[in-house]
Amino acid sequence: MTDLTAFVERERSRLLADLSDWLSIPSVSTLPEHAADCRRAAEWIAARLGKLGFRVDTIETDRHPILWAEGPAVPGAPTVLCYGHYDVQPPDPLNEWITPPFQPTVRNGKIYARGTADDKGQVFCVVSALEGLSRANGRLPLNVRLLIEGEEEVGSKGLTKFLTAEPDRTRADAVLVTDVHMVAPGYPSVDAALRGIVHAEIHVRTLKSDLHSGLYGGAAPNAIETLWHLLERLKGPDGKIRVPGIYGRVKRPSAKELKAWKALPIKEKGFRAEAGAKALNGETKFSFLERIWARPTLEVHGIVGGFTGAGAKTVIPAEATAKISLRLVPDQRAKEVAAQLRRAVQRAAPKYADVTVTILSQSDPVQTPLDAWPFEVLDRAYREVWKRGISPIRSGGSIPIVPLLQQRKAPVLLTGIGLPDDGLHGPNEKLNLDQLWKGIVLFGRFFELIGDRRR
């Protein structure tokens, strides 16, 4: 048995310096001005894998490159495909960061930077486990492939194209997706489901151009007002989505699953406090866990239009745009929901307005059975390293490529060493270093136990 604790103890400061180096590359996939940084971030992790003896292919896409890496062949041993992403979300709002987002800083045992938990830190954790294993033994105990992309945060279009053209890349005994977090400190978990997403922009035009609100107000249609009435028709104050047909395929979790959630160490009060809300809302007849994990949602992310500068301007805006997304749950289908949304918007649009819906990205929800043998191995590794086995949970977030990772029927293990308060996508994103160090030992043990299962 290889215990990577000694490796972590010995290499800790170098590993931290290396991770900081990677985190300081601002690989923001959605911003065109960061395209070169995305490529640099890909090259950084490719170089590291190359040093470990992996054969690395760079696959070009319309935007940011995909990395495919293969470890040395280990005949007779199982194969694990590891997935993660090197791209990150924009760091805004910048002035809320205590230290700059691309200047990684350690405070109180946590490393702060954009991408620490989502997802560079977690990819680094897996790669460091592989490094530790090959240093200790001169070889790896199993066949490892890594698929690391740079478009996860923008919908994984390039990777979708690649895996659709080459489905056999997803042939493996297990797929390890370390882009989720554990349910609470000390409680390792595996996701049985993720939500899907339909991301859209609704654009309203009511006039040729902006008008004086005194001279025209009362008769000329206001685009922002039109937009708010329209949004109101898409979702009520009771949290119910008013898009016809939207709930048609929604499957409720089994009684067994719902009961198991009650025993989890996350409670409504703590969740509310962590969210920083005075009260929770939504479809309150469902538990908060069911609402965030197993109910579809519609959220407005931003509204653009009118006059928002300093001071006052009396104007009737001619156009307005809302950026929205719907989260989908099993067994909804993204394509169908996108069509339902289009129809609902057209139906709610008044005759005097030109209303268009643009779908920015879409991905299906995921459900993954937890009964395949690699889950037993993962459970054992967590028991040994974390002193507790895995709790089955769900996550409300989305990872667009997972449905395609399932296409060759390999079991998909959605697990991670991040924590719920890591602040993904927000200011001061962090990763607890003790989670990272323990995670290296955990994944090392997981890979070794998988390797023990010779076919």
Q: Contact residues for Mn ion (CB under 5 A)?
A: 118-119, 179
Sheet holding 79-85, edge to edge: 55-59, 66-70, 143-149, 79-85, 174-177, 412-414
Tell me how far, at minimum, the Cβ of 262 lies from Mn ion, in Å. 28
Tell me how far, at minimum, the Cβ of 432 lies from ligand BES, in Å. 15
With respect to ligand BES, which residue has the nearer C-beta, 154 or 349? Answer: 154
With respect to ligand BES, which residue has the nearer C-beta, 159 or 381? Answer: 159
* 164-167-168 Cα angle (round to 5): 160
Q: Report the alpha-carbon distance of residue 105 to residue 94 in Å, rounded.
A: 15
- Closest by Cα among 216, 231, 229 to 318: 216
With respect to ligand BES, which residue has the nearer C-beta, 179 or 364? Answer: 179
Q: Which residues contact 119 (CB under 8 A, 6 or more apart)?
A: 84, 85, 86, 152, 178, 179
Q: Which residues contact 168 (CB under 8 A, 6 or more apart)?
A: 408
Tell me how far, at minimum, the Cβ of 149 lies from Mn ion, in Å. 10
With respect to ligand BES, which residue has the nearer C-beta, 28 or 180? Answer: 180
Contact 320, 223 (CB under 8 A): yes
Q: Report the alpha-carbon distance of residue 305 to residue 223 in Å, rounded.
A: 8
Residue 443, SS3?
A: helix
Tell me how far, at minimum, the Cβ of 419 lies from ligand BES, in Å. 10
Q: Residue 361's binding partner, choosing from ligand BES, Mn ion, none, with beta-carbon cut-off 5 to 8 A by kind?
A: ligand BES
Contact 350, 379 (CB under 8 A): no
Measured in whole angstroms, how far is the alpha carbon of residue 264 from the centre of its chain? Answer: 22
Tell me how far, at minimum, the Cβ of 83 lies from ligand BES, in Å. 11
With respect to ligand BES, which residue has the nearer C-beta, 152 or 210? Answer: 152
Tell me how far, at minimum, the Cβ of 400 lies from ligand BES, in Å. 5
Give the largest Cα separation in the chain, rounded. 81
SS3 per residue for 355-375: EEEEEEEEECCEECCCCCHHH
Q: Extract the runs of DSSP E, i.e. beta strands, from 65-130.
A: 66-70, 79-85, 105-107, 110-112
Q: Residue 128's binding partner, choosing from Mn ion, ligand BES, none, with beta-carbon cut-off 5 to 8 A by kind?
A: none
Q: Report the alpha-carbon distance of residue 148 to residue 57 in Å, rounded.
A: 11
Q: Could you tell me the end-to-end alpha-carbon distance of the chain, in angstroms, rounded to an integer?
A: 19
With respect to ligand BES, which residue has the nearer C-beta, 143 or 395? Answer: 395
Q: Report the alpha-carbon distance of residue 319 to residue 372 in Å, rounded.
A: 53
Tell me how far, at minimum, the Cβ of 44 lies from ligand BES, in Å. 19
Q: Residue 400's binding partner, choosing from ligand BES, Mn ion, none, with beta-carbon cut-off 5 to 8 A by kind?
A: ligand BES
With respect to ligand BES, which residue has the nearer C-beta, 226 or 391? Answer: 391
With respect to ligand BES, which residue has the nearer C-beta, 349 or 442? Answer: 442
Q: Name the DSSP class of 327.
A: E
Q: Residue 151's binding partner, choosing from Mn ion, ligand BES, none, with beta-carbon cut-off 5 to 8 A by kind?
A: none
With respect to Mn ion, which residue has the nearer C-beta, 317 or 439? Answer: 439
Tell me how far, at minimum, the Cβ of 13 lies from ligand BES, in Å. 28
Residue nearest to ligand BES (CB): 397
With respect to ligand BES, which residue has the nearer C-beta, 194 or 417? Answer: 194
Q: Which residues bind ligand BES (CB under 6 A)?
A: 118-119, 152-153, 155, 179-181, 194, 197, 361, 395, 397-400, 424
Tell me how far, at minimum, the Cβ of 180 lies from ligand BES, in Å. 4
Q: Report the alpha-carbon distance of residue 340 to residue 358 in Å, rounded.
A: 13
Write down the H helix ranges in 218-325: 223-232, 255-262, 268-275, 288-293
Tell me how far, at minimum, the Cβ of 398 lies from Mn ion, in Å. 9
With respect to Mn ion, which residue has the nearer C-beta, 7 or 443? Answer: 443
Tell me how far, at minimum, the Cβ of 204 lies from ligand BES, in Å. 24
On the 0-12 / 13-18 / 19+ scale of CB atoms within 10 A, 324 is: buried
